[in-house]
Amino acid sequence: MSKAEISKLGHFGLVSTDLEKSLWFFKEVVGLEETDVMNGVHYLRAWGDFEHHTLSIRAGEEAYLDHIAWRTKRREDVDLFAEQLENSGIAIEWVEEGTEKGQGKAFRFKLPSNHTFEIYYDMEKTLASPETRSVLKNQTHKSWNKGVSPRRIDHVNLLSSLPANELVDFMQEHLGFNLREYVEAPDGTYVGAWMSVTPLVHDIAFSFDPNSPSTHEVHHIAYWLDNAQDLLRAADILKENGIFFKGPGKHGISQAMYIYAIDPGSGVRLEIFTNGYLIFEPDWEPIRWSVDEMDIGFTYWGDQMDANTENNPTIKA
């Protein structure tokens, strides 16, 4: 039987200390569509997302990313991954079907950093309501209904007080991710690593900061816009709604444009993201950036985040 494979980043499960404010931020300001509410969990997706949801939000006493979900390539890969991970001594925990609206069989496990991943295959492909449905058969919702209006989920960036090396190894060995770009300190420590199973430069990135409050922080979650100028429009919208953000700017690594905005409800950082390059080469050599080259790697140009993690509060995952 062939090796289990991940097809794509599926969704984020967010817990917010101020559910109402998080819903206002993600629905009205960012402009995600709500497909369902069940047991106090709100299920959202962007207008071009094809699955039932790419973000769920529920209330909690502490804000954190409950789980980051990855969809497998085949239905049987869920069991296969479970088996392979357990064989490697990694504990898994099954999530009963239907616990998460629209989702089939799934399990969760923890990275060496203690970040929580979920593996699933089956997920409803809910149609949009007639009022918000696009006139196009290949698009879920009308675009530009409200707010920033990103097209789809893009990636996640995890922050840790552990060097990224061990996480990169884990992702390659257990989940089949490819290393695409990385920043390496003179002593061999990976300060940052960008990895993917798709031609996107990253479905996931790992950031290392020894001063990180824990091993399992979320640097940001990201949604995609089609055009750089949509990002400038996003900046206007964020500013007019009193949202704190950094950017716009352009990364050297990934060549993508960014804005980093803070959800005032949960404190999670949302990257609004566009442009960048795709990797179709089967023999891609990971791009190595030395610490000296980090500046242009992180910021090709534009407004940037304060490098100091202490000034950039994060939430746990």
- The nearest distance, CB 233 to a copy of itself, in angstroms, is 6
- The nearest distance, CB 99 to a copy of itself, in angstroms, is 21
Nearer to a copy of itself (CB atom), residue 278 or residue 307: 278
Nearer to a copy of itself (CB atom), residue 102 or residue 252: 252
Q: Which residues contact 169 (CB under 8 A, 6 or more apart)?
A: none
- The nearest distance, CB 59 to a copy of itself, in angstroms, is 26
Give the C-alpha separation, 232 to 216, whole Å: 31
Q: Which residues bind a copy of itself (CB under 8 A)?
A: 2, 7-8, 48, 50-51, 71-74, 134-139, 142-144, 147, 151-152, 181, 198-199, 226-230, 232-233, 235-242, 245, 247-250, 252-255, 257, 275, 277-278, 280-282, 287-289, 293, 296-297, 300-304
The answer to whether residues 162 and 112 touch, using CB atoms and an 8 Å cutoff, is: yes
- The nearest distance, CB 247 to a copy of itself, in angstroms, is 8
- DSSP letter string over 9-71? EEEEEEEESSHHHHHIIIIIIS-PEEEEEETTEEEEE-TT--SS-SEEEEE-SS-EEEEEEEE
Nearer to a copy of itself (CB atom), residue 15 or residue 253: 253
Q: Is 272 left (phi over 0), alpha (psi -120 to 50) or beta?
A: beta
First to last CA, the chain: 33
Nearer to a copy of itself (CB atom), residue 36 or residue 293: 293
Nearer to a copy of itself (CB atom), residue 9 or residue 162: 9
- The nearest distance, CB 277 to a copy of itself, in angstroms, is 6
Q: Which residues contact 292 (CB under 8 A, 6 or more apart)?
A: none
